[in-house]
Amino acid sequence: MNDSMNTSGRGTTGRDTSEQVPDIGTLSISASVADRDRSRNDEKVRLNTPTRGCDSVPPESSIADVLERAAFPNMGQRVRELPIGSSCPSDPNLGQNALRDFGLPVHPHPPSPGIRGCPVKLRTNHLQVQYIPNVIYEYCASITPPPVSRNVRYSIYQLAEQTAAWREAGMVGAVAHDGASRLVSSQRLPDVLEIQVSYQQEGTPAPQHGARVFILSIKLVQTLDANTLTRYIEGPPELQNFNISPVVSALNLVQLAARGDIGVVSVGRSRFFLALHAGTDLGDGLEARKGFVTSLLPTRGHLTIKVNVGTTAFYSPGNLAASMLASQDPMLAPRSRLMQNVKVRTTHTQSRHVFRVRDLAAQDSDTRMINTPDFGQVTISHYITLRFGIQLSFPHLPLVETHSSAILPPELCEILPGQPFRGVLHDSHAAAMTNLACVYPNTGGQVIRQLAQQPVGPVLSSFGMNIGTDLLQVTGRVLPKPAIIYSSNTAYVDDRPRPQWSLREAHFIVGGRLDQWTVLVIKDNSPPEFAGVTDPELQEAVVAFRDMCNSRGVTVTGDPTYTAVQLPPRTPTDPIREAALAAIKTAFKDEKKPQLVMVALANRDKMVYDGLKYLFDVLLDLPSICFLSSKFRHGAPSRAQYLSNLSLKLNVKLGGVNHRLDAETVAWLNVRPTMIVGMDVVHPGPDSAMGTPTIAAVVANVDEHFAQYPASLSLQQSRGEMIFDLKMMMIERLKFYQNRNDGELPERILVYRNGISDSQISCLLSTEVPAMKEAFQTFNTSSTPYSPKMTIVICSKNRRTGTWFGVDGATDGNPEAGTVVDSDVTSANKFEFYLQAHGTAKGTARPTLYTVIYDEIGVTADEIQGATHALCYMYAPATHAVSLVAPAYYADLASKRGRCYLRGHFYGHIMEGSDDQQAVWEDARRIGDIPGSAVSSTMFYI
Q: What is the mean pLDDT of residues 792-820?
A: 87
Contact yes or no for 233/299 (Cβ under 8 A): yes
Q: What is the mean pLDDT of residues 835-845?
A: 91
Position 263 scores a pLDDT of 53
Instruction: Please name every residue paired with 849 in a beta bridge, in sequence order, or none if there are none.
Output: 796, 834
Cα dihedral across residues 132, 133, 134, 137: positive or negative: positive
Confidence check: pLDDT of 20 > 60: no
Position 269 scores a pLDDT of 62
Q: What are phi and psi of 765, to 5 degrees?
A: -65, -30
Confidence check: pLDDT of 650 > 90: yes
Position 780 scores a pLDDT of 97
Contact yes or no for 245/92 (Cβ under 8 A): yes
Pairwise pLDDT comparison (329 vs 409), residue with the higher score: 409
Residue closest to 802 by CA, chosen among 444, 446, 475, 469: 444
818 — pLDDT class (breaks 50, 70, 90): very high
861 — pLDDT class (breaks 50, 70, 90): very high
Distance of CA 368 to the CA centre of its chain: 42
Position 10 scores a pLDDT of 38
Position 96 scores a pLDDT of 56
| Most distant pair of Cα atoms in the chain: their distance | 93
Q: Which residues contact 223 (CB under 8 A, 6 or more apart)?
A: 135, 136, 137, 138
Pairwise pLDDT comparison (327 vs 223), residue with the higher score: 223
722: alpha, beta or left? (left if phi > 0; alpha if psi -120 to 50): beta
How many CA atoms lie within 13 Å of 298's alpha carbon, on the beta-carbon side?
Answer: 25
Residue closest to 423 by CA, chosen among 573, 313, 328: 313
Contact yes or no for 930/29 (Cβ under 8 A): yes
Q: Which range (350-354, 600-604, 708-712) has the least confidence?
A: 350-354
Pairwise pLDDT comparison (604 vs 53), residue with the higher score: 604
SS3 assignment for 90-149: CCCCHHHHHHHHCCCCCCCCCCCCCCCCEEEEEEEEEEEEEECCCEEEEEEEEEECCCCC
Confidence check: pLDDT of 934 > 70: yes
Share of the chain above pLDDT 90, in %: 58
Beta-strand pair 465-478/354-364? unpaired
The total number of residues written for the chain in this structure: 942
DSSP states of 406-442 as a string? -EE-GGGEEEPSS-B--SPPPHHHHHHHHHHH---HH
How many angstroms separate the Cα of 227 from the Cα of each of 176, 224, 913? 20, 9, 52
How many angstroms separate the Cα of 272 from the Cα of each of 165, 177, 262, 275, 836? 29, 16, 10, 9, 27
SS3 assignment for 49-94: CCCCCCCCCCCCCEHHHHHHHHCCCCCCCCCCCCCCCCCCCCCCCH
The letter for the amino acid at 70 is: A
CA distance 232 to 585: 62
Confidence check: pLDDT of 614 > 60: yes
Residue-wise over 808-819: b if at least 16 C-beta within 10 A, else e? eeeebbbbbbbb
What are the tens digits of pLDDT across the range 669-693? 999 999 999 999 999 988 888 889 9
CA distance 255 to 381: 50
DSSP state of 688: S
Position 895 scores a pLDDT of 94
CA distance 817 to 807: 12
Contact yes or no for 591/533 (Cβ under 8 A): no
100 — pLDDT class (breaks 50, 70, 90): low
Q: Measured at the alpha carbon of residue 754, what is the angle toward residues 332 and 609, in degrees to the nearest 5?
A: 35
Position 781 scores a pLDDT of 94
Q: What is the mean pLDDT of residues 254-264?
A: 71
499 — pLDDT class (breaks 50, 70, 90): confident
Q: Which residues contact 858 (CB under 8 A, 6 or more apart)?
A: 789
What are the tens digits of pLDDT across the range 878-927? 999 999 999 999 999 999 999 999 999 998 888 765 667 888 888 887 77
Query: Which burial class, exposed, middle or buried, applies to 466 when counting CB atoms under 10 A from its CB (0-12, 13-18, 19+)?
Result: middle
pTM of the shown model: 0.85
Confidence check: pLDDT of 588 > 90: no
Cα dihedral across residues 36, 42, 44, 47: positive or negative: negative
Query: Which burial class, exposed, middle or buried, applies to 371 when counting CB atoms under 10 A from its CB (0-12, 13-18, 19+)?
Result: exposed
Q: Which range (264-268, 744-748, 757-761, 802-806) has the least confidence?
A: 264-268
CA distance 630 to 783: 61
Instruction: Please name every residue paired with 299 in a beta bridge, in sequence order, or none if there are none.
Output: 302
Q: Which range (41-45, 297-301, 409-413, 658-662) has the least confidence?
A: 41-45
CA distance 837 to 869: 6
The letter for the amino acid at 223 is: T
Contact yes or no for 110/301 (Cβ under 8 A): no
Run of H or E residues at 217: strand 213-225
CA distance 921 to 905: 9
Pairwise pLDDT comparison (802 vs 845), residue with the higher score: 845
Q: What is the mean pLDDT of residues 412-441?
A: 85
CA distance 368 to 389: 19
Contact yes or no for 850/832 (Cβ under 8 A): yes
Instruction: Please name every residue paired with 476 in a beta bridge, in sequence order, or none if there are none.
Output: 120
CA distance 703 to 660: 11
417 — pLDDT class (breaks 50, 70, 90): confident
Share of the chain above pLDDT 70, in %: 83
Position 405 scores a pLDDT of 86
Confidence check: pLDDT of 567 > 50: yes
Confidence check: pLDDT of 333 > 60: no
CB atoms within 10 A of CB 752: 26
Beta-strand pair 819-821/465-478? antiparallel
Q: What is the mean pLDDT of residues 683-712?
A: 93
Position 160 scores a pLDDT of 95
Query: Which burial class, exposed, middle or buried, applies to 896 when counting CB atoms under 10 A from its CB (0-12, 13-18, 19+)?
Result: buried
71 — pLDDT class (breaks 50, 70, 90): very low
Helices (H) and strands (E) in the chain, counts: 24, 38
Position 26 scores a pLDDT of 28
Position 17 scores a pLDDT of 40
Average pLDDT over the chain, rounded to whole? 84
240 — pLDDT class (breaks 50, 70, 90): confident
CA distance 360 to 663: 63
Position 222 scores a pLDDT of 94
The letter for the amino acid at 840 is: T
Run of H or E residues at 345: strand 343-346
CA distance 680 to 299: 27
379 — pLDDT class (breaks 50, 70, 90): very high
What are the tens digits of pLDDT across the range 510-548? 999 999 999 999 999 998 899 999 999 999 999 999 999
User: How much of the chain is in helix, strand and coil states, percent to nearest 5?
Assistant: 25, 25, 45
Instruction: Please name every residue paired with 491 in a beta bridge, in sequence order, or none if there are none.
Output: 484
Residue closest to 646 by CA, chosen among 878, 880, 893: 878
Three-state secondary-structure class, residue 828 = coil
Query: Which burial class, exposed, middle or buried, applies to 111 when counting CB atoms under 10 A from its CB (0-12, 13-18, 19+)?
Result: middle
How many angstroms separate the Cα of 395 from the Cα of each of 313, 410, 412? 29, 9, 11
Residue-wise over 199-213: b if at least 16 C-beta within 10 A, else e? ebbeeeeeeeeeeee
Q: Which residues contact 553 (CB under 8 A, 6 or more apart)?
A: 487, 507, 508, 511, 651, 656
